[in-house]
Amino acid sequence: MINHGKFPILGVNVHAVDYEHVVNSIVTAAREGKPCSVSALAVHGVMTGFLDPVHSRRLNGLDLVVPDGQPVRWALRWLHGVSLSDRVYGPNLTLLVARAMAENHLGIYLYGSQNSVLLKFAENLRVKFPGLNISGSEPSKFRRLKDQEREELMARIRDSGAKAVFVGLGCPRQEIWAHEFRQALSMPILAVGAAFDFHAGTLPQAPQFLQNRGLEWLFRLTQEPKRLWRRYIILNPLYLWYVFLQKMGLKISSPTKPDGTEPIESYG
């Protein structure tokens, strides 16, 4: 079990840990009824924090932010001399946590995505892990929840008997959700994003050789070019440039200036 601590990458604190440490942290918190908000961040996730100081504070308020993308894992080595043998890839982490929760007879709640995806995701999880208790599930409303809706949602999750929540709202909204609901729910919240679609079979995963070389983004770009081109064509070069500046020891700041507004909104 590896835990080297946390290190800043463009102002976002990333934890240099392995799968075993994350799974153990989540299961322990689930047993004890304690909050443990976890996000697996790739380049896009780090950049959302770098470009938005409000969101950066949210990310740094999570219990674990792990290196989902190879370029994030590599940055830990380039910037801080911390080497990990593998990244902590969100879709793999999802299955490992689901297996551990099943082995410990702890229920999970699935929140986000669309109902058709949720149904298939839940079905596939039950096939992989026959002892898994999926205590409840519901799709996203794809808008900001009203105060009463938030309270009702929290009540449904608590009343379900679930001991952890898997959230699939996409980056960065799932991280906002994990931050906002962390203390109120007092249970692990795992922001897993595309894992819902991957494990439901509605979105293909990149071949392993592309994943190993940090080129998963290229595969995803070919799958959803209209939705993802800005994310990858603009943010990836910016990430490399600012990581280089951080490596050179130069003072860096976000190209956007905080103005007291909150440009990234939560939704449920």
Give me the residue label for tokens 């203390």. Answer: 183
In whole angstroms, give the CA distance from residue 148 to residue 91.
32
Tokens of 252: 């860096």
The DSSP line for 93-145 is: HHHHHHHHHHHTT--EEEEES-HHHHHHHHHHHHHH-TT--EEEEE---SSPP
pLDDT in tens, 186-243: 999 999 888 999 999 998 888 999 999 988 888 888 888 888 888 888 999 999 999 9
pLDDT in tens, 14-50: 999 999 999 999 999 999 999 999 999 999 999 999 9
End-to-end CA distance of the chain: 34
pLDDT for the residue 59: 97
Q: How wide is the angle at C-alpha 163 spanned by C-alphas 178 and 191, nearest 5°?
A: 25
- Residues 6 or more apart from 173 whose CB is under 8 A from it? 264, 265, 266, 267
The single-letter code of the amino acid at 82 is V
Answer yes or no: are the C-beta atoms of 64 and 90 closer than 8 Å. Answer: no
pLDDT level of residue 261 (50, 70, 90 thresholds) = very low
For strand 108-112 and strand 3-9, is the pairing parallel, antiparallel, or unpaired? unpaired
pLDDT level of residue 259 (50, 70, 90 thresholds) = very low
Q: Which of 219, 176, 197 has the alpha carbon at shortest distance from 94?
A: 197
pLDDT in tens, 109-153: 999 999 999 999 999 999 999 999 999 999 988 888 888 989 999
| Count of Cβ atoms closer than 10 Å to residue 245 Cβ | 14
